[in-house]
């Protein structure tokens, strides 16, 4: 799923949406990856950061984790 982040066309769409401040489009592109966990996105004109969360299990509240992914363009 995350291998789409390496796709040049996908990355350009993501960069364009972020640089134009189009949060709904950035969120749509992230959801199009087919992720099955909640995702929180933040972006600036120079990059996008998103965090993937797993929910804790009721019998083990410390069983959750977070994966942070950053896409940055430019120098």
Tell me the pLDDT band of 16, cut-offs 50, 70 and 90.
Answer: very high
- Residue 25: the pLDDT is 94
Model confidence pLDDT, tens digit, residues 21-50: 999 999 899 889 888 888 889 988 888 998
Do 71 and 10 touch, CB atoms closer than 8 A? no
Beta-carbon contacts of 57 under 8 Å, excluding residues fewer than 6 positions away, are 63
pTM above 0.85, yes or no: no
CA distance 75 to 55: 36
């Amino acid at each position: 799923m995350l291998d789409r982040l390496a796709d040049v066309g996908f990355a350009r769409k993501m960069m364009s949406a972020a640089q134009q401040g189009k949060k709904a489009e950035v969120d749509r592109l992230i959801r199009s990856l087919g992720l099955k966990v909640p995702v929180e996105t933040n972006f600036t004109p120079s990059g996008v950061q998103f965090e993937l969360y797993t929910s804790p299990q009721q019998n083990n509240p410390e069983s959750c984790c977070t994966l942070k992914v950053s896409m940055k363009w430019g120098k």
